[in-house]
Each structure stands twice: as structure tokens, then as C-alpha cells.
Amino acid sequence: MGIEFTKYHGLGNDFILIDNRSSSEPKVTPEQAVKFCDRHFGIGADGVIFAMPGQDGTDYTMRIFNSDGSEPEMCGNGIRCLGKFLADLEGKSTQETQYRIHTLAGVMTPHIKPDGKVTVDMGMPGLLAEEIPTTLGAPNEKVIAQPLEVADATWLVTCVSMGNPHCITFVEDVAAIPLEKIGPQFEHHPVFPKRTNTEFIQVVRPDYLKMRVWERGAGITLACGTGACATVVAGVLTGKSDRIATVELPGGCLEIEWSEIDQRVYMTGPAERVFAGQI
């Protein structure tokens, strides 16, 4: 029997969405997810996302398997795509609507707008080493502009958790970074016991940042929502960024705000349906 799916993308970060509301267990195994995500022999995607029944008073639950079969705590572009998917399933795609979604990183609240953009309250960032987690600093201390040896070079890195781990480093020219070579070395560095996403950032202006990303479990992607959020937080912590900034990724731009009022991070960007099918 085939499995029905719908393909969505957020700035080119693409996902296979599966209506899993009838079961609290994913319809697809991690091994099947790897095959589905294969761009030559499968559907092709950065991950498989399941819309599942809510927990603890939430509307729905989000589970996601990366293209390597691992399960991350959260995905920023993915949560926008899930919100749009749910609105499409419920016939609300042209209405303003909001969902409370349970994730392994806590409750996320995507707000779907009639223009197709989605704003998500991403919660408060984790700033302590034990929250990332990383051994770059003492467990109860922040990791800001700390030296890290990778690929025979010293990088100044700032670590932020958006429910998943991020290592951010600021560079002069983001286009010159050999991402395929050094991305895996950051991801699997022993100072990150749960591995890490890594963002390389060029500051164009304090309110405009260019970003390239190596995602944990997915490699090079065109966009990373949690990474863009972590980048603005790191930019504020290092004095390089405003609290409200545009983050330009290879797939397009996200608008990020780290609110001074409630200390929560808000992400706004598109989520677009590509096609539906059965596999």
C-alpha cells in the first residue's frame, strides 16, 4: 500500500510532509526516510515531517527524520512548512490561523498569514554550555567568541540552542568557506556531544547578515530556520547584529527578531507547497 505525501519547501529547505494524525507513531521508519529523501532514487528532500496528534493540550505534534535518518529536536523551516501543510489539510490556507505544536524542543506556535508567510514564536534561546550542549565552556556559562580548532585553523565560535545545537562563527567572506570540507568537522567535533549545526556568517550591516549552513544530519542546505534565529542571537551577544535583522540564506531571506521585551525569538518566512503524490 502506498504512502501519500506532500512536498513543501521553505527557502529551498525541502521536506516530505505526511499526514500522520491518525497515529502517534510515524508511518515511515528512519530507514525508509533515508530512501524517500534520496534525490536520485527517491522523492528528494532534506527531511520527512510527520503531522501527528497533539500532546499536553497542543493542537498537533511534529516529528522529523533528517535525510540521514537521525531525528532532530526541531527544524525552523520545517515548522513553517508543517503549519502551512496543516492549514491546507484543514482548508484554511487563505485564512489567518495559528497552531500550537508539540516538538522535542518544546511548544512552537506557527502563525499562518493569508499572504503565505508564516511567523513562528521560536521560544527563548538556550545560552549556557550545558543547554547547547558543548564542553567549550563551564556548564553554567555562555560560550561567546570562544576559540575552536577545526581544519588546522582557529575559529571564534558562539554557541546557541534553539532547542537544537548551533555553533556560529563570523567570517569576512561567507562564499569563500569550503563548507563541504569543514562542515562535517564542526558537526562531529568532540566538544559537541550531540553534534551541532554550524553557521558561517558575513555581516553586511548590523540589520543584514549573510549565512551559509552545514546542518547536523542533512549537510549543506539552502536554508535553516533555527540557524538563522541562532545567528541573530549570536550577533547580538557579540555586538555584531541588531535584535531585528534580515538573514540572507542561499534560498532566500528570513526576518528574525530577538525581542528585548520577552527575550523570545520570532522568525518570519515563506512556506510553499510543491506537489503531492504517493510512494
Query: Catalytic residue positions?
Result: 75, 224
Query: What's the distance, CA 101 to chain centroid?
Result: 15
Q: Are 127 and 136 in contact (CB under 8 A)?
A: no
Copy the grid coordinates of residue 238: 557579540
Helix/strand/coil percent split, the chain, to 5: 20, 40, 40
Q: What is the 3-state secondary structure (H, E, C) of 191-226?
A: CCCCCCEEEEEEEEECCEEEEEEEECCCEECCCCHH
Q: Which amino acid is at 98?
A: Q
Residue 76 backbone phi and psi in degrees, to 5: -65, -50
Nearest Cα neighbor of 101 from 116, 88, 84 is: 84
Copy the grid coordinates of residue 65: 527524520
Q: Which amino acid is at 14?
A: D
Beta-bridge partner residues of 6: 17, 276
